[in-house]
């Protein structure tokens, strides 16, 4: 813990990637910044911790795979590579095993992916061709500031790309989603990506996530940082501290009275959490809007220690940085519908990663970490270990024999290590077309808490979940303009 001043320019509550992005943007603008973090360690959803499961083996407790951190304008300006963060891009971005030893393999190379998909290869290539060509414009649009600069981002994308994206959303986000495919491998492979949106399938919001993440798989790739996600947090912290910022851990903010005096406050919290902290001091209509953000279905986490690689029936699956498990497109649509309806599926969607595939340093003494989470109903109290191991075993017979130990965190306990993830709602609110257009509420300024100088800077606000730092960046720029009269861009580059 570092001694902090009793008054300061800006207080940031929460040290997740958005909180740190906000804090270092403000610190680089010359402000005095204090970050208050409830947990004993900083980083929120971007922490790599020793969970005591095996000596020296460390685990990504939340995020592990980072296409958004490579692609986001904030991180491109911040330049992780220049700061020594080695984002290793696997040859296979993601894989999707099916029964009978078959699997869909999404290589970083579009051509290679299409070649492996046989009869559906051309349809796959056609689906992604325009968005691959226009990916920087697409990312600027998807991660853009919803109130300022949207017009410029739309104009930059241009009518042709926008029409191509709209046509693909209409196709993949509706019951027409099967029309371009003949076999079941390519649709299953796509649905694994759409499933990242945690919700009903098909839907426009899932199709949007699929198009963005699927495009990044064939452009920047789906990288895994050497040493784990904590390397990203360490780079953010080092920059913040180099610019005079202070982080105080074990410092939960429960009420506005817990806050030191400051000219501005930015909250890396959930929307209802922010409303609770300010209570009656927040205008009633804003408080009502933030309090009624509906939670989405949940994630339940499993951290594994493995004695060797997963014995996938199709060995190519073992070259993937990320593996999606849940069977065919129809099976996954059914299991996601179960999670939405509050039923525990017998065949839940599971995401798995073995970071040792890209980073041999993760293996210690012959033991390696395994990262997995399952989609379950909101607040589900069931230990997810058996459902995750069973799902992997289905496509990798003998998997149980390489499991040395496993720690399950039920959805109902996800908030124990990050109070934003109440009931396992890791997206901080249901993802709908409406909420992805602007969240947590429709307003001229969605980052404003309705109190002068108070802003929401977490993934509860637009552009939403993921390790991209964009909410923090946008909210900090808003605070700089409103409270400090600073409108010039803040340079994020590493000083020589
Ligand atoms: C299991 C899991 C897997 C994921 N996988 C990926 C992935 O592979 N790739 C990816 O891009 N994203 C992934 N995500 C999502 C990603 O982690 C989040 O979207 C991202 O971390 C959000 O960043 P944030 O800064 O908005 O909030 P968070 O990272 O959640 O950080 C919020 C911080 O604020 C603190 N806080 C909250 N309230 C208070 C308070 N009142 N007082 C003090 N401190 C407070 C919390 O303790 C926390 O440290 C995953 C998430 C989970 C849970």
Contact 490, 480 (CB under 8 A): yes
Angle at 356 between CA 355 and CA 358, to 5 degrees: 75
Ligand 1 pocket, 440 CB below 6 A? Answer: no
DSSP-derived secondary structure for 13-48? E--SHHHHHHHHHHHHTT--EEEE-SSSSS-TTS-E
Contact 6, 22 (CB under 8 A): no
Q: Phi first, then psi: what are they for 295, rounded to 5°?
A: -70, 150
The residue ranges of every structural domain in the chain are 7-62+228-294+427-484, 67-224+297-416
The pLDDT profile of the chain, 496 residues, written as one tens digit per residue, is: 334 445 899 999 999 999 999 999 999 999 999 999 999 999 999 999 999 999 999 999 999 999 999 999 999 999 999 999 999 999 999 999 999 999 999 999 999 999 999 999 999 999 999 999 999 999 999 999 887 778 899 999 999 999 999 999 999 999 999 999 999 999 999 999 999 999 999 999 999 999 999 999 999 999 999 999 999 999 999 999 999 999 999 999 999 999 999 999 999 999 999 999 999 999 999 999 999 999 999 999 999 999 999 999 999 999 999 999 999 999 999 999 999 999 999 999 999 999 999 999 999 999 999 999 999 999 999 999 999 999 999 999 999 999 999 999 999 999 999 999 999 999 999 999 888 888 999 988 889 999 999 999 999 999 999 999 999 999 999 999 999 999 999 999 998 6
Q: For residue 384, report the distance from its CA to the centre of ligand 1, in Å.
A: 20
CATH (residue range 67-224+297-416): 3.90.660
Contact 346, 326 (CB under 8 A): no
How many whole angstroms from its chain centre is CA 293? 19
CATH number of this structure's domain 7-62+228-294+427-484, picked from the four choices 3.40.50.300, 3.40.1450.10, 3.30.1280.10, 3.50.50.60:
3.50.50.60
Q: Whose CA is nearest to atom 34 of ligand 1?
A: 14
CA–CA separation, 419 vs 397, rounded Å?
37
CA-CA-CA-CA torsion sign (213, 325, 345, 65): negative
Ligand 1 pocket, 67 CB below 6 A? Answer: no
Angle at 388 between CA 409 and CA 41, to 5 degrees: 30
Ligand 1 pocket, 35 CB below 6 A? Answer: no
Q: For residue 4, report the distance from its CA to the centre of ligand 1, in Å.
A: 24
CA–CA separation, 353 vs 312, rounded Å?
13
Starting at the earlier edge strand, list the strands of the sheet with 7-13.
246-248, 33-36, 7-13, 261-267, 454-456
Q: For residue 46, report the distance from its CA to the centre of ligand 1, in Å.
A: 7
CA–CA separation, 181 vs 190, rounded Å?
11
CA–CA separation, 89 vs 66, rounded Å?
9
Closest atom of ligand 1 to 253 CA is 42
Closest atom of ligand 1 to 465 CA is 19
**Element (DSSP H or E) covering residue 303:** strand 298-306
Q: For residue 308, report the distance from its CA to the centre of ligand 1, in Å.
A: 29
Contact 79, 213 (CB under 8 A): no
Ligand 1 pocket, 466 CB below 6 A? Answer: yes
Q: For residue 64, report the distance from its CA to the centre of ligand 1, in Å.
A: 12
Whether pTM > 0.85 for this model: the answer is: yes
Closest atom of ligand 1 to 21 CA is 25
Contact 330, 305 (CB under 8 A): no
Q: For residue 471, report the distance from its CA to the centre of ligand 1, in Å.
A: 12
CA–CA separation, 42 vs 37, rounded Å?
7
Closest atom of ligand 1 to 467 CA is 11
CA–CA separation, 277 vs 299, rounded Å?
25
Q: For residue 45, report the distance from its CA to the centre of ligand 1, in Å.
A: 3
**Element (DSSP H or E) covering residue 368:** strand 368-376
Ligand 1 pocket, 273 CB below 6 A? Answer: yes
DSSP-derived secondary structure for 60-93? ESS----HHHHH-HHHHHHTTGGGT--EEPPSEE
Q: Whose CA is nearest to atom 48 of ligand 1?
A: 44
Ligand 1 pocket, 419 CB below 6 A? Answer: yes
Q: For residue 16, report the distance from its CA to the centre of ligand 1, in Å.
A: 5
């Amino acid at each position: 813990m570092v001694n902090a001043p009793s008054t300061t320019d800006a207080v940031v509550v929460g040290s997740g990637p958005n909180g740190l992005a906000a804090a270092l943007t403000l610190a680089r603008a010359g402000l005095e910044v204090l970050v208050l973090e409830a947990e004993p360690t900083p980083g929120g959803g971007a922490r790599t911790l020793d969970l005591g499961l095996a000596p020296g083996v460390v685990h990504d407790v939340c995020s592990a795979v980072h296409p958004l951190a490579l692609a986001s304008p904030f991180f491109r300006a911040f330049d992780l590579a220049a700061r020594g963060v080695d984002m290793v891009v696997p040859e296979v971005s993601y894989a999707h095993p099916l029964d009978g030893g078959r699997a869909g393999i999404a290589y970083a190379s579009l051509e290679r992916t299409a070649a492996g998909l046989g009869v559906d290869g051309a349809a796959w290539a056609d689906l992604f061709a325009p968005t691959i060509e226009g990916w920087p414009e697409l990312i600027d649009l998807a991660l853009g500031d919803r109130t300022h600069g949207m017009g410029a981002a739309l104009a930059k994308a241009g009518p042709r790309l926008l029409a191509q994206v709209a046509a693909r959303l209409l196709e993949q986000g509706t019951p027409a989603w099967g029309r371009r495919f003949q076999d079941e491998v390519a649709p299953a492979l796509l649905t694994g990506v759409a499933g990242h949106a945690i919700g009903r399938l098909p839907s426009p919001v899932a199709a949007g996530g699929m198009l963005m993440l699927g495009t990044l798989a064939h452009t920047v790739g789906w990288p895994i940082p050497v040493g784990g996600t904590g390397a990203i947090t360490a780079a953010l912290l080092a920059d913040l501290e180099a610019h005079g910022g202070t982080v105080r851990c074990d410092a939960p903010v429960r009420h506005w009275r817990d806050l030191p005096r400051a000219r501005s406050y930015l909250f890396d919290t959930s929307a209802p959490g922010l409303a609770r902290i300010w209570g009656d001091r927040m205008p009633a209509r804003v408080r009502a809007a933030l309090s009624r953000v509906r939670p989405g279905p949940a994630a339940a986490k499993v951290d594994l220690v493995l004695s060797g690689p997963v014995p996938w029936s199709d060995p190519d699956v073992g070259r993937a940085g990320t593996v999606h498990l849940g069977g065919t497109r129809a099976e996954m649509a059914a299991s996601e519908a179960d999670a939405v309806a509050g039923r525990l599926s017998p065949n839940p969607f599971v995401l798995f990663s073995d970071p040792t595939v890209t980073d041999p340093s993760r293996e210690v003494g012959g033991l390696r970490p395994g990262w997995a989470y399952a989609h379950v109903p909101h607040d589900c109290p069931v230990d997810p270990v058996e459902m995750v191991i069973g799902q992997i075993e289905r496509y990798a017979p003998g998997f149980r024999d390489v499991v040395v130990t496993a720690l399950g965190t039920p959805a109902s306990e996800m908030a124990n290590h990050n109070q934003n993830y109440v009931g396992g709602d890791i997206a901080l609110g249901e993802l709908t077309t409406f909420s992805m257009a602007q969240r947590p509420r429709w307003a001229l300024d969605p980052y404003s808490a309705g109190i002068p100088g108070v802003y929401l800077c977490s993934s509860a606000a637009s552009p939403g979940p993921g390790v991209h730092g964009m909410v923090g960046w946008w909210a900090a720029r808003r605070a700089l303009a409103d409270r400090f009269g600073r409108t010039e861009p803040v340079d994020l580059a590493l000083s020589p």
